[in-house]
Amino acid sequence: MKKAEKLAREMFSPDDLEAIQNAIKTFELRTSGEIVVSFNTSSAGQPYKTARRIFAKHNLHKTRERNATLIVLYPREQKFAVVGDEGIHARVPENFWDDVVAEMTQHFQAGDMRTGLVKGINRLGEKLAEYFPYQADDVNEISNDFRFEGDSDSGSADKQE
């Protein structure tokens, strides 16, 4: 088990992780967009920049409509970053990313990690469903599995906290 996976399992109960996965799956039934959650052991002091590298490493920029989003949690540092591809950037209001981060931060600071993450996924999912509705020929372009990155995996993204 990678260190990041161990940290995720210390931070979230099995029920929490299942609820987070279910939130992703629920929205992906309503949108052609993709939502990915990654746990990383370190941001090397640059959560957003590291998230952008992770975004690129996992080829999240290669979706047909450029509508993938990534939430990266850095449990050791109590930081996170939210990244979206250019397709979603072109459509959402300018303050959208700040609003997502603010809502997640409010719950994280209250110690409710599960709610914070699920609320962030819900906000992303609502906008993805609005701008990129599910199509009959839609395929899941990116696995819904969590990503677990080690210190040396610091991998590219959009908003940080």
Confidence of residue 28 (pLDDT cuts 50, 70, 90): confident
Instruction: List, in order, residues 6 or more apart from 72 with CB less than 8 Å away.
Output: 37, 38, 39, 40, 43, 47, 50, 51, 54, 80, 81, 82, 83, 149, 157
What are the residue ranges spanned by the domains of the chain? 3-160
Instruction: List, in order, residues 6 or more apart from 38 with CB less than 8 Å away.
Output: 51, 54, 58, 70, 71, 72, 73, 146, 147, 148, 149
Residue 100, token pair as written in the block: 């997502």
Compute the average pLDDT of residues 45-62. 94
Place of tokens 């990155």: 149
Confidence of residue 94 (pLDDT cuts 50, 70, 90): confident
Compute the average pLDDT of residues 10-14. 94
Q: What CATH fold (topology level) applies to the domain 3-160?
A: Diaminopimelate Epimerase; Chain A, domain 1 (3.10.310)
Single pTM value for the model = 0.89
Phi, psi of 51 (to 5 degrees): -60, -40
What integer pLDDT is reported at residue 71 of this predicted model?
97
Compute the average pLDDT of residues 112-131. 95
Q: Is the pLDDT of residue 161 over 50?
A: no
